[in-house]
Chains A and B, each alone.
Chain A
Amino acid sequence: MSPCEREEQVLLYHYGELSDDGRAECERHLKVCGQCRLGLAALAAVGQFKQPRQVPAELVAGVRRRVLPGRLAGWLRGHPWFRYSTVATGLAAGLLAFSGIELGNRAVSDGRAVLSHETVISSRAADISASISAARSSTALAGHEKAYSAYLETNDTDGFFSSAEAMYYAGSETDDVNRLLDNINAIRTDIKNERTAK
């Protein structure tokens, strides 16, 4: 089968940059072209990796440290209102403290409801962080192999999923990923055989 050459159209279609006519034409083509459907699916999967990222606070602080001592700090020191900023800061702190009493009272009642939920979330996050940290320290593959062995003995697919995911996020090398895929296929075969036997 000769390769389809409509990647550019698929690219523009996926990102919504085709005209109405172009979109309709692309949709007709996608119905009959498996190669382009695969390309479109690959682009959609790429979007999965675009999770919102929390920028580590120290990075932003680092930029401030290297930027503010220069021009801005000099400008601030020379600015007329800078002389009054100490007084202003005191006043602002007083206002914040006052409003904080009211906010604090409200937070106590809201907080009770939130607390139990947050406890659950943080305990889950801790579990995940721990497993990821463990996986990162180059024990990912060892952990995965252990989980795979455990699966062979006990059919514990949940344990295998956890270790596979940890390894997946741990920066695994291609060979490790290939081994992971082999194990996934082996388990899939086991499951199929088990179902056939039933």
Chain B
Amino acid sequence: MTDAELVRLVRCGDGAAFEALMTRYKGPVYGYILSLVHSEDVAGDIFQEVFIKVFKNIGGYREEGKFGAWVYRMASNLAMDHFRRSGRLGAKEIALDGEDAETELHSVIASSEQTPEQRLAGLEDVVRVRAALDRLPPEQKEVVMLKEFSGMTFQEIADSLQVPLGTVLARGSRAIKKLRTMLESENEPM
């Protein structure tokens, strides 16, 4: 069943349809929020607020736009509200639990076939990129993480954020430039 069909059912009061939409979007939306705010508590609050707003405002959702874009717009707006309220633009690292942690750790820990030097280099690179990413302005990081999590095209992201495509591409380009500059300045010869 398509998003639009489920939305119509939710409008008629179908709880199962709302559950289906939430099941479809909860993982990537939660991941996206967490990637921006880096606090499981804050991400949890925003996540709940997003889906409660989705439910309450679904009557106002216009079907010509993608439902996902509408949901991510709410998530982005609430995350940016959080940054405005807290007055801080940076963020800390993500704390991980259980199997997710194991998956991510395994992707970071180099295989035992690598030499200690290679393992150190791999760990160092990931630490550097993570640190550089966390220093990006929220609007730039928002574009990159939205692209990563939502799978939307840049045009869809522009529609979702209600800004011109050129603005989205400019933010993404500035993000790359900053990441590159930060990595260049930190990239000491081995």
Contacts and interface: CB of A to CB of B under 8 A. Distances in A.
Interface stretch (A70-78, A83-91, A97-105): A70-78
Interface of B: 13, 15, 18-19, 22, 26-27, 30-31, 34-35, 38, 40, 44, 47-48, 51-52, 55, 92-105, 107-109, 116-117, 119-121, 123-133, 144, 147-149, 153-154, 169-170, 172-174, 176-177, 179-181, 183-184, 188, 190
Given A55-B27, A177-B131, A42 B176 contact: yes
Interface residues of A, number: 63
B108 A165 contact: yes
Given A42-B180, A48-B107, A53 B34 contact: yes
A38 B187 CA distance: 11
A181 B154 contact: no
Contact of B109 (A17, A55, A165): A165
Interface stretch (A7-15, A22-30, A108-116, A141-149): A7-15
A173 B130 CA distance: 12
B26 A60 contact: yes
Contacts of B149: 50
Contacts of A171: 38, 92-95
Nearest to A64: B19
Contact of A53 (B30, B128, B172, B174): B30
Contacts of A139: none
A72 B101 CA distance: 37
B18 A72 contact: yes
A70 to B, nearest CB: 8
| Main SS class of interface, A | helix
A169 B183 contact: no
A12 B173 CA distance: 9
| Main SS class of interface, B | helix
Contacts of A185: 188
Interface of A: 3, 7-8, 10-12, 15, 17, 35, 38-39, 42-43, 45-56, 59-60, 62-64, 66-68, 71-72, 75-76, 124-125, 128-129, 132, 136, 157, 161, 164-165, 168-174, 177, 180-181, 184-185, 187-188, 191-192
B48 A51 contact: no
A42 B117 contact: no
B147 A15 contact: yes
Nearest to B171: A11
A136 B94 CA distance: 10
B104 A125 contact: no
A142 B43 CA distance: 28
13 contacts: A7-B173, A8-B172, A38-B180, A39-B176, A42-B176, A42-B179, A43-B179, A50-B35, A53-B27, A53-B34, A132-B96, A132-B101, A157-B119
